[in-house]
Structure 1
């Protein structure tokens, strides 16, 4: 208890907490985009439940990883060497997760473009094309990748476990609150699906690059995503005005 009181009275701890919460929320965007796109392929009555289960699993996984933080720290130690390059367990997890994201996003893009021969390329198929259990398994796999990356990032920013726990709880709460609105927005605006899938490919390639030791500043990635989203927002406004304009 004395430790927590001392931590609460330390200004540096509060700065670390605010910074880490912001970082965890930003890192959670990647996970949330994937969950939103994936659950929108389920029957409408199962989507909210799948999102909540997926985000709940992300919370449980992050807290469980915090409980084994000594093991998580060792995940960055090299375990194998291939062609003169050392790979740690974290590297291999990031590479596998990145490959999965690229494969999944590419498959979804192909499905969106080619699912009906004569339809609009941005039409969304009317019937669900994914089972509930398959969605949960895929969400769980990506939860693991993002959770490992999230916890290792947290360890690099602070040594205080309570700060990490609060940051994780805040980030997952934000994901839970934003999940349904984001998924509904994507469902109402099918062209956004293509943009989001493009984001997932970029995120997947970033994970692969980091797994091979090439550090990609996250600020560049999220700045590019924000700019693309801004441009798409302008396109959506232009389309809405054109549909409302008298002919």
Structure 2
């Protein structure tokens, strides 16, 4: 492995670092949206603490996984094979039932994300946020919020680090990229959470994103790899449409 000094003077290493930071930030958006929505269910005095703790644990998990790269790469080895394979598409099965530990973790994480997003949609449709603020039904407890954040941190961290391992072989580059990306998540957490809290329609849109991400994780676990670019392009398009709707609502409000 090259020394850190040689990496500092290597333009290729800097290019790999910049690319990896962008990739880690993009992959961290899913994690950040989930943390923001979940922390907004807590009492106001606990929200910032929950967000910082959740993102701090995400950083710790990523660094621990980087320290055990050889074990992490082993997660992609087949662990369970049901012997069922889909029709060939471009020479590869459309889906596969030879599951690695990574696949099982992604499937479990996807199911959890779909369950949680569906539950939050029901909570929002039933007016649960207003009831909590009015002293009715209690909101989510701090411990429960942190436990759920940790569960998804594990899933997103494994996906994030395996992506990093596939992009570069230099551990220092991966460590710096992860620290920078999680640092940016920490900075963006409060503004994003406040923006979501102020705009109820954005909450529903974000929950829809989580449903889609959960479905993609399950598909990935079954060997159906949906290009991430399609997912984030759809999210960006939906976000742009919602931004236009928000501008239109503000203009109507001003006219009235």
TM-score by length of 2: 0.91
* 2:120 matches 1:108: yes
Aligned partners of 1:112 and 1:124 also within 8 Å: no
* 2:101 matches 1:89: yes
Any residues of structure 2 matched to 1:207-222 within 5 Å, and which? 207-222=217-232
SS at structure 2 position matched to 1:173: helix
Give the aligned partner of residue 169 of structure 1. 179
Shift of 1:68: 0.5
Give the aligned partner of residue 63 of structure 1. 63
Any residues of structure 2 matched to 1:173-192 within 5 Å, and which? 173-192=183-202
Shift of 1:8: 1.2
SS at structure 1 position matched to 2:41: coil
Aligned partners of 1:42 and 1:129 also within 8 Å: yes
Cα distance in 2 for partners of 1:89, 1:62 equals 17
Any residues of structure 2 matched to 1:1-247 within 5 Å, and which? 3-84=3-84, 85-115=97-127, 124-127=130-133, 129-246=139-256
Cα distance in 2 for partners of 1:144, 1:136 equals 12
SS at structure 2 position matched to 1:41: coil
Q: Structure 2 unaligned runs (5+)?
A: 85-96
CA pair 125-171 structure 1, distance change in 2 beyond 3 A: farther
Q: Structure 1 unaligned runs (5+)?
A: 117-122
Cα distance in 2 for partners of 1:234, 1:25 equals 25
SS at structure 1 position matched to 2:98: strand
Shift of 1:126: 4.0
Aligned partners of 2:132 and 2:139 also within 8 Å: no
